[in-house]
């Protein structure tokens, strides 16, 4: 390969060398070309004029069958096989024996390597293994560009060089253009052939032992908090690490003359190929375990960094991961990270929640992206639609550049409104607040021109921590938030875990329907010491300041009273021991469960404020998972049924004189926010990016005109008010940004 020959001469030398060593009369290399066509690129034994002329479609002939299935064909009489196809230009009719193996890279077939003999014979297992190893090395040589012009032609159709468009799940809005950074860097093997087989055997044994220790430590760290289901997953992972068959195959590959890392990759490619073609979904799911274990083993063997956070990142990095923990995301420098694409995670995953809080555009469920992308590839992430463009064409890139410019101009326009009071045209003052959960959110208060934080999700601190935060850690965190707010209100929601938000260090039980199980205040009341610790930390953090504490997922007034009793007890203890207390303490409840809507007359005298969690309330009203891809558009927050429910809450809160806020996605969309103001809401909380569009809307709105219109429509028996509200906004000059 280091010689001065042309690319074609190098290929010719390779197939001749293989034929000689295999004692074969024919050795041929076919390469997958655009249009799923296999082209004969080099041959020893077939007619020279057939090279670059013989073509087979994927699935056509023996070679096409191998490329399509990814499996070896070993035939003593090739012409009797039903897939055999005669190509006159090759002169191969005189050959009977046939052994073909796929040339694969990163799970993709990029060619087929074949040997043939005139005499009918069945090639031995050792010969199969030898040809497969040779194909693996050849695949890396081709992919590395070592074949010059020929390799360039080959790579033109390899998945890692083509443009791709994936449609995933939009998890956090925004558009990002940049270059891909693999969270777990792909390890490129450069040394395939062992100089000393005994040394490579020793390297394998040491690495396997280190891998098993790593897996044992990993499982031990989370063992205390795992449930039954997660325990089964972790034990399956451990089982693979200790599997004798897997280790034995790596040892056997080393004995053929491969380096330890080449042997591990060789076995991984073979197992991955087999599992991908398994009809059993459980076995296919185990593919992730094999991928993870192999990458861990290769990192141990090569000394590569575990994640890209330990390396220098480009300033326009778009992070690509199969999955990752919330704490791992925070290891990255936010200044350099423009977007995030996840192969598996959905909207409720910890990492997606934290990424959204950081204001990073996120797309999840981007199936297969890890297999078709490399670090450094150009990529566009559209967090509004869920589209991901890998190595985009110039036309696509230019279209998104224009889209980004449009959004930038719009945001600049909204930024000019930052210091303007949020007052409607007819003089109604509206409190615009942001939802937050991390210290990184606090600069958004000033940047968005918000009045305060209507919802601070305290659980994010617990989700990104590797162990339970102590009272001192919690107190310091909450104190920093209060001080950063500079006198503006911060409503702290007590720990809302359960359902989609579980803590690995907190023991949990398996639930058939976790969304309707132990979560929020229900869970907290089952662990009162846990709740007491958090409230004590909040009281200490709020010393000398105003403090708002809100309890989530309240279903009955008795639950609110029990939670309030814990807070009263902690306040009494603080007074007894002379600790500094907040200047004022307000306790509230979130209205997220429909049952509480019909207990408002009993609830409201017991609280200082209430807040509607529109996301959960909407899904419980309609018994509909808001993240279900087939149901997400079916139930509309502007349906008359849901608006009537909100109208009832507004009326009861006014009657009792209790302040009311709505937190959730509904508040952050201008048309929906307009409807809320028409119902009588004067305080809403949303993502920081939504403040500008919502403020632009309310500055152009006459609430006194909208209120009667909505009451009339709600009384008319219409099922949905979206179209009517849209027309009203257009007719009355209300700025509804799209």
Query: How does 272-303 read in b/e, with b if 16+ C-beta sit within 10 Å?
Result: bbebeeeeeeeeeebbbbbbbbbbbbbbbbbe
Long-range CB contacts for residues 308-311, cutoff 8 Å, separation at least 24 = 308/181, 308/182, 308/183, 308/184, 308/185, 308/332, 308/375, 309/183, 311/185
User: Taking a C-beta distance cutoff of 8 angstroms, is the pair 679, 701 a contact?
Assistant: no
- In angstroms, the CA 384 to CA 405 distance is 15
3-state secondary structure 202-243: HHHHHHHHHHHHHHHHHHHHHHHHCCHHHHHHHHHHHHHHCC
Among 96, 160, 268, 350, the one annotated catalytic: 350
Rg (CA), the chain: 31
Query: What would the two tokens of residue 100 be?
Result: 């073909």
Element (H, E) at 113: strand 108-117
Query: What would the two tokens of residue 394 be?
Result: 């110039």
- In angstroms, the CA 379 to CA 401 distance is 12
Question: DSSP labels for 606-648?
Answer: G-SEEEEEHHHHHHHHTT--TT-TTTTTTS-TTBHHHHHHHHH
User: Three-state DSSP class for 595?
Assistant: helix
Among 268, 389, 653, 663, the one annotated catalytic: 663
Cα first-last separation, the chain: 57
List Cα–Cα distances, 485 to 259, 281, 695, in angstroms.
58, 50, 20
Half-sphere exposure of residue 490: CA atoms within 13 angstroms, side-chain side: 29
- In angstroms, the CA 530 to CA 524 distance is 7
User: Other C-beta atoms within 10 Å of 431: how many?
Assistant: 17
- In angstroms, the CA 36 to CA 125 distance is 30
User: Other C-beta atoms within 10 Å of 11: how many?
Assistant: 22
Please choose, from the candidates 357, 416, 359, 384, the residue with its C-alpha nearest in 3D space to the C-alpha of residue 695: 416
Q: What are phi and psi of 66, to 5 degrees?
A: -65, -45
186 CB contacts (<8 Å, ≥6 apart)?
Answer: 106, 374, 375
Query: What would the two tokens of residue 641 be?
Result: 């049924």
User: Taking a C-beta distance cutoff of 8 angstroms, is the pair 100, 134 a contact?
Assistant: no
Element (H, E) at 457: strand 452-457
User: Taking a C-beta distance cutoff of 8 angstroms, is the pair 13, 26 a contact?
Assistant: no
Query: What would the two tokens of residue 531 be?
Result: 């709740």
Angle of helix 197-222 versus helix 244-255 axis, rounded to 10: 160
Place of tokens 């096409």: 64
- In angstroms, the CA 222 to CA 541 distance is 30
Pairing of strands 683-686, 660-663: parallel
In the residue annotation, 96 being an active-site residue is answered as: no
In the residue annotation, 27 being an active-site residue is answered as: no
- In angstroms, the CA 348 to CA 345 distance is 8
Cβ-count burial of 626 within 10 angstroms (0-12 exposed, 13-18 middle, 19+ buried)? middle
DSSP 8-state assignment for residue 186: P
Element (H, E) at 715: helix 703-715
Place of tokens 């939802």: 435
Q: What are the residue numbers of the active site? A: 350, 663
């Amino acid at each position: 390969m280091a010689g001065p020959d042309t690319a074609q001469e190098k290929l010719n030398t390779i197939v001749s060398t293989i034929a000689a060593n295999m004692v074969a009369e024919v050795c041929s290399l076919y390469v997958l070309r655009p249009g799923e066509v296999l082209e004969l690129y080099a041959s020893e034994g077939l007619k020279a004029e057939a090279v670059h002329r013989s073509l087979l479609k994927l699935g056509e002939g023996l070679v096409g069958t191998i490329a399509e299935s990814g499996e070896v064909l070993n035939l003593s009489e090739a012409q009797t096989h039903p897939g055999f196809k005669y190509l006159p230009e090759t002169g191969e009719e005189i050959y009977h024996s046939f052994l073909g193996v796929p040339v694969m890279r990163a799970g993709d077939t990029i060619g087929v390597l074949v040997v043939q003999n005139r005499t009918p014979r069945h090639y031995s297992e050792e010969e199969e293994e030898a040809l497969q190893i040779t194909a693996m090395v050849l695949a890396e040589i081709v992919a590395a560009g070592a074949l010059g012009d020929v390799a360039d032609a080959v790579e033109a159709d390899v998945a890692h060089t083509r443009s791709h468009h994936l449609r995933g799940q939009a998890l956090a809005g925004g558009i990002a253009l940049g270059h891909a950074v693999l969270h777990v860097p792909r390890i490129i093997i450069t040394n395939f052939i062992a100089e000393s087989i005994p040394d490579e055997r020793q390297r394998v044994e040491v690495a396997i032992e280190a891998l098993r220790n790593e897996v044992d430590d990993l499982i031990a760290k989370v063992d205390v908090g795992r449930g039954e289901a997660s325990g089964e997953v972790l034990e399956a992972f451990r089982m693979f690490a200790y599997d004798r068959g897997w280790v034995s195959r790596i040892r056997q590959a080393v004995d053929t003359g491969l380096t330890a890392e080449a042997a591990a990759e060789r076995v991984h490619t073979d197992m991955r190929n087999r599992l991908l073609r398994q009809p059993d979904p459980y076995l296919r799911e185990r593919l992730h375990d094999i991928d993870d274990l192999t990458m861990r083993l290769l990192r141990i063997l090569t000394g590569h960094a575990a994640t890209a956070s330990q390396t220098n990142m480009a300033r326009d990095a778009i992070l690509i991961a199969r999955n990752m923990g919330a704490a791992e995301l925070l290891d990255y420098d936010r200044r350099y990270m423009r977007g995030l694409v996840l192969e598996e995670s959905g909207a409720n995953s910890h990492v997606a929640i934290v990424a959204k809080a950081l204001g990073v555009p996120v797309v999840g469920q981007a199936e297969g992206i890890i297999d078709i992308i490399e670090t450094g590839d150009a990529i566009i992430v559209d967090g509004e639609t869920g589209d991901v463009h890998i190595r985009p064409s110039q036309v696509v890139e230019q279209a998104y550049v224009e889209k980004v410019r449009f959004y930038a101009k719009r945001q600049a326009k909204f930024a000019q409104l930052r210091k303007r009071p949020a007052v409607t045209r007819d003089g109604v003052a509206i409190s615009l607040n942001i939802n937050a959960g991390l210290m990184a959110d606090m600069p958004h208060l000033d940047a968005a021109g918000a009045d305060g934080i209507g919802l601070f999700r305290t659980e994010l601190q617990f989700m990104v921590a590797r162990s339970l935060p102590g009272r001192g850690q919690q107190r310091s965190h909450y104190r920093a938030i209060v001080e950063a707010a500079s006198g503006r209100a911060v409503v702290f929601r007590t720990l809302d875990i359960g359902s989609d938000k579980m803590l690995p260090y907190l023991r949990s039980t398996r639930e058939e329907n976790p969304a309707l199980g132990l979560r929020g205040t229900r869970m907290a009341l089952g662990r009162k010491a846990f709740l007491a610790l958090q409230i004590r930390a909040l009281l200490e953090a709020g010393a000398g300041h105003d403090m708002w504490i809100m309890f989530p997922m309240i279903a009955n007034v008795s639950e609110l009273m029990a939670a309030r009793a814990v807070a009263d007890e902690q306040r009494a203890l603080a007074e007894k021991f002379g600790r500094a207390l907040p200047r004022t303490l307000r306790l509230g409840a979130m209205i997220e469960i429909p049952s509480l809507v019909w207990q408002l007359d009993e609830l409201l005298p017991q609280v200082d404020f209430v807040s509607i969690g529109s996301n959960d309330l909407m899904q419980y009203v309609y018994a509909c998972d808001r993240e279900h891809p087939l149901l997400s558009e079916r139930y509309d927050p502007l349906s008359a049924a849901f608006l009537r429910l909100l109208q009832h809450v507004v009326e009861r809160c006014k009657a009792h004189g209790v302040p009311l806020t709505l937190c959730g996605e509904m508040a952050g969309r201008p048309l929906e926010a307009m409807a809320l103001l028409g119902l009588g809401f004067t305080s809403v909380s949303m993502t920081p990016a939504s403040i500008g569009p919502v403020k632009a809307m309310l500055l152009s709105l006459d609430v006194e005109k909208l209120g009667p219109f909505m009451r009339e429509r709600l009384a008319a028996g219409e099922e949905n008010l979206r179209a009517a509200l849209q027309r009203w906004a257009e007719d009355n000059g209300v700025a509804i940004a799209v």
